[in-house]
């Protein structure tokens, strides 16, 4: 059994902001990236949140971002710190 392909979490709002700043429409950017306008739209509104590495690199390039720019990556969720004084109780009796 194959493991799933790695994907990147993408910040759709950041993609939309950069696209609009560049004056590019969804159909034009989608064509440059090699994806459908529908897929790009779903990324921007957040119904799709992950992208394969090659697609992510093409999107970053089409937006004119350098390879080390991470503006379109979604922020990683913070891991909450354990609250002091709280311990899990053992309910086994």
The one-digit pLDDT tens for each residue of the chain (93 residues) are 666 678 999 999 999 999 999 999 999 999 999 999 999 999 999 999 999 999 999 999 999 999 999 999 998 766 666 666 655 555 555
Rounded to two decimals, the pTM is 0.77
Question: Hey, what CATH topology would domain 8-62 get?
Answer: 434 Repressor (Amino-terminal Domain) (1.10.260)
**The pLDDT of residue 36:** 98
Residue 60 has, within 13 A of its CA and on its CB side, a CA count of 19
Residue 84 has, within 13 A of its CA and on its CB side, a CA count of 0
**The pLDDT of residue 27:** 98
């Amino acid at each position: 059994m194959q493991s799933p392909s790695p994907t990147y979490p993408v910040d759709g709002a950041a993609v939309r902001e950069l696209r609009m700043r560049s004056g590019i429409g969804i159909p034009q950017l989608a064509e440059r990236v090699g994806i459908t306008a529908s897929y790009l739209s779903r990324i921007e509104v957040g119904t799709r949140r992950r992208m394969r590495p090659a697609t992510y690199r093409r999107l970053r390039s089409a937006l004119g971002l350098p390879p080390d720019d991470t503006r379109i990556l979604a922020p990683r969720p913070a891991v909450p710190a354990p609250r002091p004084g709280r311990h899990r109780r053992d309910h086994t009796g």
